[in-house]
Homo-oligomer: A and B are copies of this chain.
Amino acid sequence: MDEIDRTIVNLLRADGRTSYAELARRVGLTAPSVQDRVTKLEKNGVITGYQAVVDPEAVGLGITALIGIIPDSSADHIEICDRLRAMTEIESCYFLAGVECYQLKVRVPKMADLERLIHRLGGIPGVAQTRTTITLSTKWEDRPQPVGAEDGRGID
């Protein structure tokens, strides 16, 4: 994980479809070398995948909401987590330090779908209460933060 790797990661975060040839030109190496580095970054778990970014509204998911989950004392977190994972509307799920031990980001087509989802969440054993906040607008989302000098693990 040197300066070149960081540049490659930044370029791929900005445009995940950049070709190896193009990356090679940007970092001053040949395509096979770059491909080798990218493969290693994937193997080492630095790059975990590639996604097309889609406008949620354009695919009929016009409503985004944030939902906090407040558990009761009997809560089995493995069970809760599995049940949450099975709900495809939940795009992200964070385990938090606080009264609301999970926060979910969900997307649904219509308000009625959100209402149904909240009822389903409330029905999960161990969930005492939910707290839902509607997002009026998304200012931005998943903006890649350039990776700088310091990196986490001592990979390589």
Q: Is A135 an interface residue (CB 8 A)?
A: yes
Asked whether any CB of chain B lies closer than 8 Å to the CB of A57, the reply is: yes
How many residues of A are in contact with the other chain, CB < 8 A? Answer: 68
Q: Are A96 and B58 in contact (CB-based, < 8 A)?
A: no
Chain A contact residues: over half helix, strand or loop, or mixed?
Answer: mixed
The distance in angstroms between the C-alpha atoms of A47 and B47, with both chains bound, is 21
Instruction: Kindly list 13 other residue pairs between chains A and B, CB separation below 8 angstroms, not including A58-B153, A91-B143.
Output: A13-B54, A16-B17, A16-B50, A44-B58, A46-B58, A46-B59, A85-B140, A88-B143, A92-B142, A94-B135, A95-B138, A97-B135, A109-B152
Q: Interface on A for B, CB 8 Å cutoff? A: 6, 9, 12-17, 44-55, 57-62, 64, 66, 81, 84-85, 88-98, 100, 102-103, 107, 109, 133-148, 150-153, 155
